[in-house]
Amino acid sequence: MASRKRESFRWRTPVEIGLIAAVIYVLLGAPGLPTWIWPDSTPVHEASPRAKIESLVYPSEGLQCPKHTYDVHVFSATPLIIYIDGFLSDEEAHHLVDMSATKWQTSTVFNKGVESTDESVRKSEKALIDRDQTVQCIEQRALAFQGWPAETFIERLWTQRYNVSGHYAHHYDWATTSKTSRRSSTFMVYLSAECTGGGTQFPRISRPDESKWCQFVECDGETEGVTFKPRAGSAVFWNNFDADGRGYKETIHAGMPVTSGTKIGLNIWSWYQAGHVPE
Ligand SMILES: *[C@@H]1O[C@H](CO)[C@@H](O)[C@H](O)[C@H]1NC(C)=O
């Protein structure tokens, strides 16, 4: 009897120490664990509460666009993620940067429909782009790339400028998960990338082994997931939803902080709006 008591005492102590240590670790915020371990505690911030119908556009009928080619590199089939080298020409990229020059305003975030600035979440400036022929040709290119999906429109284009320490914390682009209305896909286009840092990071997607990807993704260092490098004119395209309308959790992503110079990006969001007729 006495020896059994001593044995249970000997074993209980390390277990108790372990439990207390685990509680302290969690109270400290579980340092060292990747941020995607708990999906529900991952901060999710929306670029907009939902696209307003008036911000949905469609390229004009009879639009004449110059021939343009780009190189497609399929990164992942599910979710579909494609790196597009040369999605925009140098002239198009410069034109969008020039058009933004007089329009920069501080970027905002939405939380339960309330718009505010929060530099811990998003630090950048944005500019709403007028829809001239060049811009409509880019809208058309984005829809053609996806095979002209039915009842799918482009949200008015915005450029984004990130100076040193500019960033956008992890978020989904989903905007809503409604069956009839949602942001179906994203092109993250880099217009100007005279910077260090500023990559687009997907913590739940692993970095490919093949070294051919190192021209497009960060291959140095021990970063979480995969980080696409900003390269002027190129774009990362991905679908935000599967065919049944379920948001892909893998598409959570962040704009990493710019550490020197300036990055200018362009969001091209496609919006599925059942029953909407373009003007
Ligand atoms: C960002 O940098 C540009 C110059 O590259 C400057 O004109 C602009 O004011 C800066 N924006 C902020 C918010 O500091």
How far, in Å, is the centroid of ligand 1 from the Cα of 195? 13
Q: Whose CA is nearest to atom 5 of ligand 1?
A: 262
Residues with Cβ within 6 A of ligand 1? 125, 163, 262
How far, in Å, is the centroid of ligand 1 from the Cα of 273? 36
How far apart, in whole angstroms, are the C-alpha atoms of residue 200 and residue 239?
15
How far apart, in whole angstroms, are the C-alpha atoms of residue 82 and residue 80?
7
What pLDDT is recorded for position 12? 67
Residue 208, classified by CB atoms within 10 Å of its CB into exposed (0-12), middle (13-18) or buried (19+), is middle
Residue length, the chain? 279
Residue of 82, 81, 65 lying closest to 73 (CA atoms): 82
Q: Whose CA is nearest to atom 10 of ligand 1?
A: 163
CA 5: distance to chain centroid?
58
Contact 196, 41 (CB under 8 A): no
With the most atoms of ligand 1 within 8 angstroms of its CB, the residue from 104, 163, 194 to mutate is 163
The tokens describing 240, both together, are: 């935000």
Q: Which secondary-structure segment (H or E) carries 3?
A: helix 2-27
Beta-carbon count within 10 A of 120 CB: 9
What pLDDT is recorded for position 112? 73
With the most atoms of ligand 1 within 8 angstroms of its CB, the residue from 161, 162, 191, 263 to mutate is 161
Q: Whose CA is nearest to atom 12 of ligand 1?
A: 163
How far, in Å, is the centroid of ligand 1 from the Cα of 198? 15
What pLDDT is recorded for position 16? 74
**Tens of each residue's pLDDT in the chain, 279 residues:** 445 555 555 666 767 777 777 666 655 544 444 444 333 333 444 555 555 778 999 999 999 999 999 999 999 999 999 999 999 999 999 999 999 999 999 998 887 778 889 999 999 999 999 999 999 999 999 999 999 999 999 999 999 999 999 999 999 998 887 889 999 999 999 999 999 999 999 999 999 989 999 999 999 877 789 999 999 999 999 999 999 999 999 999 999 999 999 999 999 999 999 999 876
How far, in Å, is the centroid of ligand 1 from the Cα of 214? 30
Q: Which atom of ligand 1 lies at the shortest distance from residue 262's CA? A: 5
What pLDDT is recorded for position 43? 42
Residue of 63, 67, 48, 99 lying closest to 278 (CA atoms): 63
What pLDDT is recorded for position 32? 47
Enumerate residues 6+ apart whose C-beta is below 8 A from 143.
58, 59, 149, 152, 154, 270
Q: Whose CA is nearest to atom 3 of ligand 1?
A: 163
